[in-house]
Amino acid sequence: MTKALFLDRDGVINKEKNYLYQIEDFEFIDGVFATLKYFQDQGYLLIIVTNQAGIARGYYSEADFQKLNQWMLQQFEAQGIHIGKVYYSPYHPEYGTGKYKKETNCRKPNPGMILQAKEEFDISLAESILIGDKESDIEAGINAGICMNILVRSGHIVDETATKASLVVDSIKDIPERKEMRKLLNSK
């Protein structure tokens, strides 16, 4: 079985901007390349799981999302980082329009995207890690059976007493240096 690092996109990989879909607005978060390279070198398959409510709301199309996605993946490849797959949910149960207005198991906090990746790549969720910037990301990881779920503040105020996260850090770049991570990785 494979171990994976599951990553939310907006707020984890790139700076969060409302309903981001244009390349010129995309800014990688400082340290993301080094952190992903670190986990890749530790044998983790890198998987992105992202809600894309902007598609549901009609702010941009799936084609717009795919164009930005391909550009992002090329930037990772140029740094020697291979993303196994990007899973996304274009649905929203309340604010979606047309075929995109529905409740679905793939929209976080539901675990559908993670479980789909588990099946497709034969992933051991018990050995995997999830990094997100919202409690819905953490809940999706827990709902899927991931034991290490990390919440990055990425500029958000986080109530550490209320989160279900295993670990809270300021940014993705801080994760490899945390003693909790070193201990976890050395035990595997």
Say if 27 falls within a structural domain. yes
Say if 55 falls within a structural domain. yes
Catalytic site positions: 8, 10
For 159-176, what is the mean pLDDT? Answer: 90
110 has a pLDDT exceeding 90: yes
Per the structure, the complete domain to which residue 69 belongs is given by 4-122+142-150
What distances in angstroms separate CA 24 from CA 4, 41, 95, one per listed residue?
Answer: 29, 30, 26
98 has a pLDDT exceeding 80: yes
Say if 90 falls within a structural domain. yes
Retrieve residue 12's tokens: 């984890």
Say if 62 falls within a structural domain. yes
Say if 183 falls within a structural domain. no
Say if 73 falls within a structural domain. yes
Q: What is the CATH number of the domain that holds 105?
A: 3.40.50.1000
Say if 172 falls within a structural domain. no
157 has a pLDDT exceeding 90: no
Say if 85 falls within a structural domain. yes
The residues near 170 (Cβ < 8 Å, ≥ 6 apart) are 152, 153, 154
Least confident interval from 16-20, 25-29, 158-162, 182-186 = 182-186
188 has a pLDDT exceeding 80: no
The residues near 12 (Cβ < 8 Å, ≥ 6 apart) are 29, 32, 131, 132, 133, 152, 154, 172
Q: Which pTM does this prediction carry?
A: 0.95
Mean pLDDT over all residues of the chain? 93
- Predicted local confidence at residue 18, as pLDDT: 87
Query: Domain tally for the chain?
Result: 1
What's the CA gap between 57 and 19, in Å, rounded? 10
What's the CA gap between 139 and 120, in Å, rounded? 21
What's the CA gap between 138 and 8, in Å, rounded? 10
- Predicted local confidence at residue 187, as pLDDT: 62
Whose tokens are 């940014």? That residue is 171
71 has a pLDDT exceeding 90: yes
For 140-160, what is the mean pLDDT? Answer: 89
20 has a pLDDT exceeding 60: yes
For 50-56, what is the mean pLDDT? Answer: 97
- Predicted local confidence at residue 186, as pLDDT: 66
